[in-house]
Amino acid sequence: MANPAHQLGRFTGVIRGAAAAASRALGIWLWVIVFAVVFSLISSHFMSILNLSNVTRQASIFALMATGMTFVIISGGIDLSVGSIISLTSAVFGVMWKMTNNLALSIVAGMMVGLLSGTTIGLLVGFLEIPPFIATFGMMGVGAGLAFAVTPSSISGFPAGFEFLGNGHLFGVPFPVIIAIMAGVIFHFLLRRTRLGVHILATGGSESSALLAGINVRARKLTVYVINGVFASLAGIILCARIRSSYPGIGKDLELDVIAMAVIGGASLVGGSGSVIGALGGALFLTMIQNLFNLIGLYPFMQKVITGGLIVVAVMANQSRRRRRSQAASDVIRASTE
């Protein structure tokens, strides 16, 4: 019998089920889509090609940092030094260019900063068992100070070709976006489909079990900090290309934003779970919000208040989803054992 109330109940049930399924499959990307629709209603400029290419370009630089950070957080660690690594990369890159006028050499020198600082942190955390918070807090101070010691001023005058790295387009898509998507896809597969990725997940999930399973936990920790350092340096170089100059304070205060992006994307701060695709979404989410605030001319203080609130809400939504899923899993287990 077709009972209207019953049908309505079924209808809302279907909607709710579909929403739950969408949120399961998409995670933060669902919110990115919802917010994008809402934002385009709030500001007519939001969906313009120029603005979209601007937002995605900005977001893709953050996405590179958030990808590296996701690996660190999955391993059960944290990295407070990314902002400083970016600053130091920028400074070293600029000084190298000024000294040699050799672009390739300057880029290599800049990338070496991330490689070396990542290795240092990895050795401290993995092999000397210094808590990641402390090791990277120390590196944060070292990087920020050294950047200004290397050069206190901003350097510009790079060749036009270099600018392409930050401001160019390929088939109409901003070049940094292409880099970020490529890096995202590669590292998503690295995390989900390779032995290294599984080992990193296991290390963060339970270090003692990973050790018992014969995983070289120390080497895995070293690996994640090296990955993170290299990503930070890559982002630093692209940032230089985007603003056509290097500046030793360029990465100041970025670290907490990047951590927030990774966590919004689903990385758990206790380690063991997280997603590269989610981190890209987290980066886009926060950048989009900042962009809208600028478009509608919101006061900076209100921007801060709302950003702070949204970070909390996004993680809360993420958590309740995770809880529901684990609840569903335990229901299945209970049903199968009864």
Toward another protein, which CB reaches closer, 144 or 234? 144
Q: How far is the CB of 53 from another protein (least distance, A)?
A: 27
Toward another protein, which CB reaches closer, 158 or 247? 247
**Residues 6+ positions from 165 with CB-CB distance below 8 Å:** 175, 176, 237, 238, 241, 242
Residues of this chain that bind another protein (CB under 8 A): 78, 80, 124, 128-131, 133-135, 137-142, 144-146, 148-149, 152, 256, 259-260, 263, 268-270, 299-305, 307-309, 311-312, 315-316, 319
**Residues 6+ positions from 135 with CB-CB distance below 8 Å:** 121, 124, 125
Q: How far is the CB of 87 from another protein (least distance, A)?
A: 11
Q: How far is the CB of 314 from another protein (least distance, A)?
A: 9
CA-closest candidate to residue 66, choices 187, 219, 237, 207: 187
Toward another protein, which CB reaches closer, 226 or 260? 260
Encode burial over 251-272: b for 16+ CB neighbours within 10 A, e otherwise.
Answer: beebbebbbbbbbbbbbbeebb
Toward another protein, which CB reaches closer, 144 or 237? 144
Toward another protein, which CB reaches closer, 190 or 211? 211
Q: How far is the CB of 324 from another protein (least distance, A)?
A: 13
Which H or E run contains 79? none
Distance between CA atoms of residues 139 and 128, nearest Å: 15
- Quote the strand ranges of the chain, DSSP E: 155-156, 169-170, 173-174, 245-246
Q: How far is the CB of 115 from another protein (least distance, A)?
A: 19
> Which residue's entry shows tokens 């360029």?
250
Q: How far is the CB of 250 from another protein (least distance, A)?
A: 15
210 conformational bin, left if phi > 0, alpha if psi -120 to 50, beta if neither: alpha
Toward another protein, which CB reaches closer, 112 or 298? 298
